[in-house]
Amino acid sequence: MIVIYHNPNSVSESHSLEILETSKHKQEHIKYEDKLLDVEKLGKIINILRINPIELIRTEHRIWKDNFQHLLDSGHEFSDTDYVNIMIEYPKLIERPIVINGRKAVIGKPPKKIFNIT
């Protein structure tokens, strides 16, 4: 089964959903704001994606710039646990869509990356 964490109001994420509509796999669509991730689940997603937590953060988002970028600029270092906790507290910072198919996952930007796991 393919699981997609997404924002249904995002135009760019709708392209990923269009690709998934052509898939013959069963799908579960999770609106990331309706079903918030906990530390354990987010950690599992990061492991499946095989990335560092900072790579899942939308650093161009205003929340990041207003609350965290100045700390990095002044030399503060965040741990992976810090990054995960930031995403739990501010779920809008999580890069999406996240598409998971068993033990494979991608961040669906650009949407054609989804073809790598379907």
Residue 3 in domain: yes
Helices (H) and strands (E) in the chain, counts: 5, 4
110 has pLDDT over 90: no
Q: What pLDDT is recorded for position 33?
A: 85
- Residue 15 sits in which domain range? 1-32+96-118
Residue 53 in domain: no
In the chain, how many domains are there? 1
* Chain segment 80-107, per-residue pLDDT in tens: 999 999 999 999 999 999 999 999 999 9
Range scoring the smallest mean pLDDT among 25-39, 46-60, 73-87: 25-39
118 has pLDDT over 90: no
Dihedral, CA atoms, 32, 91, 45, 58, nearest 10 degrees?
110
1: exposed, middle or buried (C-beta count within 10 Å: 0-12, 13-18, 19+)?
A: exposed
Q: What pLDDT is recorded for position 16?
A: 79
CA distance 93 to 59: 7
Residue 4 in domain: yes
Residue 26 in domain: yes
Residue 58 in domain: no
